[in-house]
Amino acid sequence: MGLNFAGATWATQFIFSTMIKTTYTKHPEAQDELVRLYAEDVKELLFEGITKRDGSIKVHLVHIGTKGDLPALVRLGGFERSFSHVPRQSSSRTPCKGICHLCLAGVEMGHEYDRSIPFEDMLPTALWIETLHTSVAWSSPPTILDGLPLLEKYAIEFFLTDLWHNFHLGVSKSFVGSAWVSIIEANMDCLRGSVETKFSQLTSMYLEFFRSQGKTPFITEISRETMGFPMGSVCPVAKWSKGQASTEMMLFLDHWCKQYIVNKTDDPLLLAIAEGASVVNKAFATQYGSGYWVRSAKAAWVGSLMFGFLAYYSICAHITLRMSKQRFPMTPKHHMMAHDAYGLVDQASKYEWCENPISHTNQVQEDFIGRPNRLSRRVSTKSLHSSVMLRALIIYEDSIKNADDDHRHMDAYPGSN
């Protein structure tokens, strides 16, 4: 079974309802009511199912999970352990309650816990692993779970993390920004002059790399501004909001490191940057080149690559910290990426086929969400919701008919047994 990344998103994503921003901004309870109605609907799909008009077929649909970026999951689940609780200082009066809904990572020793569990530990043997699915992150059950017959462990797992958001719009921006700044500060023979001159040289190499492939990158320069590095005392975090930019920058960073770092230096920081870029690109290329299910050997390998990247990132953070530089920050998104790495390794030890974490990502939904939005600009505000839904149904009919002739990703394993 393939991943539904190919073709028109109107044929693979289905809208349940609409709500304008001003409504749920003024009345947050309206969004809660919408979630309650959705939960009722999927409960009916599970227990009563849908019957074909002639009565020959009855289908039951199971709501197996909800996915979203971290803020969306926190809102839906009402989590009391979330990324927003990450400590800002080395110590505080109030112990941290935890930064993850899946485990107890980030909790600090205090009145509730007899030990601290660092979320920054991203090894396969981290303390947080033994706390997986042992405690719910909410004080009252999330509305979206109403009617679903789930054991506590599966209720916790129901809220799926988004590897694409966590890496491409989080971890990679920290890695790329700190990596290029560290390279510029390393006084390499291939880059000479002031910081601005070195950025300009990198930009020329970057544009030539994509020009040779007949492509124009989303980000057109590597500079202080795009790397979020106005001065040396600032921790660089790259500035863009498109996952495509992260993909392109990671590809170029990997290429550049192979040209100017690998077998050219023994600097441990530069070597860790080069190895980190290489292994994480292999991990994502493998996942996107696979289907929904991945054989155990491949899953274990990809999981080890992801853990490898996080280890190299930690090495970079450790080295630059000893240099008294603010580089390679540790964030909750790094921890969530470690969850996906562990999930692959853990599944590979138990099953022949493992779930590809790319299936939990929201990049297709990011494309789809703009399409009903564009419909809303062409209808009267007096009948906004009904008009958008009716127009959507018309588009759905055409899109699904056209999709019948699109066999891409229907079989992700052609020629295999």
Same domain, 18 and 30: yes
Rounded-to-integer distance, Cα 138 and Cα 133, Å: 13
Same domain, 256 and 333: yes
Same domain, 290 and 407: no
Same domain, 74 and 98: yes
Burial letters for 382-416: b for 16+ Cβ neighbours within 10 Å, e otherwise?
eeeeebbeeebeeeeeebeeebeeeeebeebeeee
Structural Rg of the chain based on CA atoms: 24
Rounded-to-integer distance, Cα 114 and Cα 108, Å: 8
Same domain, 209 and 348: yes
> pLDDT (tens digit, 0 to 9) for every residue of the chain, 417 residues total?
778 787 788 888 888 888 888 888 888 888 889 999 999 999 999 999 999 999 899 999 999 999 988 999 999 999 999 998 887 766 667 888 899 999 999 998 876 788 899 999 999 999 999 999 999 999 999 999 999 999 999 999 999 999 999 999 999 999 999 999 999 999 899 999 999 999 999 999 999 999 999 999 999 999 999 999 999 899 999 999 999 999 999 999 999 999 999 999 999 999 999 999 999 999 999 999 998 999 999 999 999 999 999 999 999 999 999 999 999 999 999 999 999 999 999 999 999 999 999 999 998 888 888 888 888 887 777 788 888 888 889 998 888 888 777 666 655 565 554
Which of 317, 342, 357 corresponds to the end of one domain? 357
Rounded-to-integer distance, Cα 375 and Cα 261, Å: 50
Same domain, 398 and 317: no
Same domain, 131 and 188: no
Same domain, 348 and 252: yes
Report the domain count for the chain: 3
Same domain, 56 and 75: no
Sign of the torsion angle spanned by Cα atoms 211, 215, 221, 227: negative
Across the strands, what pairs with 26?
A: none
Which of 108, 141, 160 corresponds to the end of one domain? 160
Same domain, 75 and 220: no
Query: Containing domain of residue 297, as a range?
Result: 163-357
The string of DSSP letters for 58-116 reads EE------EE--HHHHHHHHT-SSSGGG--SSS--SSPPB-S-SSS-TTB-SSSS-SS-
Same domain, 226 and 309: yes
Distances (CA, A) of 87 to 70, 106, 108, 218: 17, 8, 10, 34
Which of 126, 160, 194 corresponds to the end of one domain? 160
Same domain, 318 and 378: no
Rounded-to-integer distance, Cα 45 and Cα 48, Å: 6
Tokens of 339: 């969850």
Q: What is the pLDDT, as a whole number, of residue 85?
A: 85
